[in-house]
Structure 1
Amino acid sequence: MYQVISDQHDYLAVKFTGKVDKEEYQEILANLTSKTETGNQVDLLVDLTELERFTMGALWEDIKFDVKNFKVIRRLAIIGDRNTIKILDPISKPFVTDEAKFFEKSDYKEAQKWVH
């Protein structure tokens, strides 16, 4: 599941919880795509602190989006625990902007300030 925390013209903040499937992930990607159709870049905050797992379908959608659209994300803040950060950091490096940072849950406010 997911919850949109903030949805503005050039900013999207999303919290993922439990299991996230392909269809849910496609909804988020459609939102991002609609924001960038005019050539704008988007600041994105992703909270993974309560995520249990992404389905393989959701992960595949993410990879396809990242390969095509990695330049549309201006700043990316990912909030998670140390294990999440250790897993995602090497996997995401080729696909994310230079303006990407990982934050722990205790640094949530700092992540919000940094990304937007």
Structure 2
Amino acid sequence: MINIEHHDKLVAITIFGEFALADYKEFEELVTYKIQFGGPIDLLLDLRQMAGFTLDVAWEEIKFSRRHARDFRRIAVLTDDQWLTWSAWVTQLFVDAEVQVFEREIDARDWLDTAAEAAS
């Protein structure tokens, strides 16, 4: 299950339990819409309560990242899992965005807010 929050140039997604393809498609649809009508966005991914993801989600994420390689300004990843931290750094190979991993949400949002203020 996912929870999506969005406003202006920020999309924040929190994943609970297993990240399934239907959830990813919901996220993908919203992000595509935001990019199409507003240009590059910032992304906050809260993976702290994610139990795992399906293989089809991993494949879809690679395809989506390649299609939108230049459509993200900053990506903040919330996790305390070392595997997910490493995975976040690998994501930088597919997108032209700054990717940063955080353990605390306040730090991630501060970092994203700094980017938003600089872009204004």
TM-score of the superposed pair, with normalisation by structure 2: 0.86
* CA deviation profile, 1:59-97 (whole Å, cap 9, x unmatched): 1111100011021011100010142213x1443130133
Contact 1:76 1:97 in 2 (8 A): no
Identical pairs, percent = 28
Contact 2:41 2:71 in 1 (8 A): yes
Asked if 1:74 corresponds to 2:73, the answer is yes
Distance 1:26 1:111 in 2: 24
Distance 1:61 1:54 in 2: 11
Structure 2: state its 5+ residue gaps: 114-120
Segments of 4+ in structure 1 off by > 3 A?
none
Cα deviation for residue 39 of structure 1 reads 5.8
1:115 to 107, 112, 119: 112
Asked if 1:3 corresponds to 2:13, the answer is no
Distance 1:15 1:77 in 2: 12
AA of the residue aligned to 1:31: L
In the alignment, which residue of structure 2 is the partner of 1:35? Answer: 34
CA RMSD of superposed structures (Å): 1.4
Structure 1: state its 5+ residue gaps: none
